[in-house]
Amino acid sequence: MNEHENDSNVQIKNKSKVQKPNLYRVIMHNDDYTTMEFVVSVLITVFQKEISVATKIMLDVHHRGAGQCGVYSKAIAETKIDQVHELARQAGYPLRCSMEPA
């Protein structure tokens, strides 16, 4: 048995640990001007919520001052917040969202 035959029987296992991305909650904030209908529409359009879920979140925003729209990676959360702000700006509403670590 020569040296090369020994090497071919050696198996090297590389274990690399894949780190999951940090997640962020997207929070929608209440204001005195944005209509409930617009909030529901945004939740359906941007966050792909069913109408019943969108209505519940809208009521949380209305009664509690804020409501959670979903939990996403940082880049997706930032994109969704930008989409909400742009839709609100186009419609003339001051609707705002923010994000916080989940």
Task: Please indicate, yes or no, if residue 5 is contained in any of the structural domains.
Answer: no
Give pLDDT tens digits for 66-90.
Answer: 999 999 999 999 999 999 999 999 9
Strands (E), the chain: 23-29, 66-73, 96-101
Number of domains in the chain: 1
Task: Please indicate, yes or no, if residue 80 is contained in any of the structural domains.
Answer: yes
Confidence of residue 24 (pLDDT cuts 50, 70, 90): very high
Task: Please indicate, yes or no, if residue 14 is contained in any of the structural domains.
Answer: no
Task: For residue 30, give the CATH number of its domain.
Answer: 3.30.1390.10
Task: Tell me what pLDDT residue 17 has.
Answer: 82
Task: Please indicate, yes or no, if residue 64 is contained in any of the structural domains.
Answer: yes
Task: Tell me what pLDDT residue 21 has.
Answer: 87
Task: Please indicate, yes or no, if residue 89 is contained in any of the structural domains.
Answer: yes
Q: What is the mean pLDDT of residues 16-41?
A: 94
d(CA 89, CA 36): 16
Domain that holds residue 71: 21-101
pTM score, whole prediction: 0.81
Task: Please indicate, yes or no, if residue 16 is contained in any of the structural domains.
Answer: no
